[in-house]
Amino acid sequence: MALLVRPIYHSKESGVTQDSAVPEFGPVERKILWQQVAEQLMAMLREKRLRPGDKLPPERELAAMMQVSRPSLREALRALSMMNVLEVRQGAGTFVTSLETELLVEHLDFVLSLDESSLLELFEARKIVEIGIAGLAAQRITDEELAELDAGLARSQEALHHPVDFLHADEQLHKTITKAARNPIMSRVIDSISRLLMVSRSRTVEITGVREQTVQDHRAIVAALKRRDPEAAQAAMLRHLSNVEQGLLHSHPLGTGTTSRAKVPEPSTENLEVANT
């Protein structure tokens, strides 16, 4: 009996009927491995041609649509399932998951590629949290921690032409500042987004001029911490985060294929209160 082939089905949870506009699963070149099959499916997610809750066609049909072998398709689906992007329900089929961040924490690079606005949201969060951390650190930092920061500045300068080494020096410097704030709750907040921070830094560290600007910004932050000046430390941290964000925006303009977002005003450091030690 002939089968009626549909490129995609939708679950009841998705609120989309089978008669809705149907995305096309284009062919994949035969020479490309299963990773490229997965990449094409991920591209469809980024372009909103596949959405949370959607049901994929049966394996045989999907393989024919994409013009790949079933083993290659099966391997791609298995990889996306391990990433919690797809969910295989026994006897029901393969579905797109909710794509909530909590499900994808082991693959946060995909979270950011799926929704580019996540990068902007990350910088918004950092401006709120890390400015406060800098102000507290200015009051509570020890001489030993200041020495650690000086050593970190030296490592950053030496690693200007080595992105991976620079990334680790950058991460360590911010960890030292967070430790110096001596606020366990803020430390846990930073820990909770540490993987996101690493993914973000792995992108920005490759941008021309960002490493050089970061060294200058870090020197200004450390200088303010040495003066035990909370307001100056907060202002220096804000300038640093804004500079990195602008470098990212200029190098990789966000918003293509995503919903535009109103620019959120940068927090002012003029009236920020810093708790007394």
CA atoms within 13 A on the CB side of 236: 27
The per-residue pLDDT of the chain, averaged, comes to 79
Mean pLDDT of 89-102: 85
Check residues 6 and 199 and name the one with the higher pLDDT. Answer: 199
Mean pLDDT of 237-246: 95
Check residues 167 and 46 and name the one with the higher pLDDT. Answer: 167
| Distance from C-alpha of 267 to C-alpha of 27, rounded to nearest angstrom | 48
What pLDDT is recorded for position 104? 62
What pLDDT is recorded for position 108? 55
- Residues with Cβ within 8 Å of 134's Cβ and at least 6 positions away in sequence, in order, are 177, 181, 221, 224, 225, 230, 233, 234, 236, 237
pLDDT tens for each residue of 185-223:
999 889 878 877 887 888 888 888 999 999 999 999 999
Closest CA to 167 of 188, 189, 152: 152
What pLDDT is recorded for position 107? 59
- Residues with Cβ within 8 Å of 217's Cβ and at least 6 positions away in sequence, in order, are 236, 239, 240, 243
3-state class (DSSP) for residue 141: coil
pLDDT tens for each residue of 259-273:
334 343 444 444 444
| Distance from C-alpha of 95 to C-alpha of 68, rounded to nearest angstrom | 20
Q: Are 55 and 10 in contact (CB under 8 A)?
A: yes
Check residues 100 and 30 and name the one with the higher pLDDT. Answer: 100
Residue 144 pLDDT grade (very low, low, confident, very high; cuts 50, 70, 90)? very high
- Lowest-pLDDT range of 82-91, 194-203, 220-229: 194-203
CA 46 to chain CA centroid, nearest Å = 14
What pLDDT is recorded for position 243? 96
Domains in the chain with CATH codes: 9-104 (1.10.10.10), 116-251 (1.20.120.530)
Q: Are 141 and 148 in contact (CB under 8 A)?
A: no
For tokens 């072998």, name the residue.
69
Q: Are 130 and 201 in contact (CB under 8 A)?
A: no
Residue 27 has pLDDT above 80, yes or no: no
What pLDDT is recorded for position 42? 86
pLDDT tens for each residue of 124-135:
889 999 999 999
Check residues 227 and 114 and name the one with the higher pLDDT. Answer: 227
Provide the percentage of residues in the chain whose pLDDT is more than 70: 73
Residue 114 has pLDDT above 60, yes or no: no
pLDDT tens for each residue of 156-179:
999 999 988 999 999 999 999 999
The overall pTM is greater than 0.85: no
Residue 110 pLDDT grade (very low, low, confident, very high; cuts 50, 70, 90)? low
- Residues with Cβ within 8 Å of 204's Cβ and at least 6 positions away in sequence, in order, are 210, 244, 247, 248
Residue 45 pLDDT grade (very low, low, confident, very high; cuts 50, 70, 90)? confident
| Distance from C-alpha of 266 to C-alpha of 243, rounded to nearest angstrom | 12
- What are residue 55's DSSP bridge partners? 9, 95
| Distance from C-alpha of 142 to C-alpha of 241, rounded to nearest angstrom | 24
Closest CA to 20 of 64, 55, 47, 63: 55
| Distance from C-alpha of 106 to C-alpha of 83, rounded to nearest angstrom | 7
Closest CA to 120 of 260, 274, 267, 272: 260
What pLDDT is recorded for position 210? 95
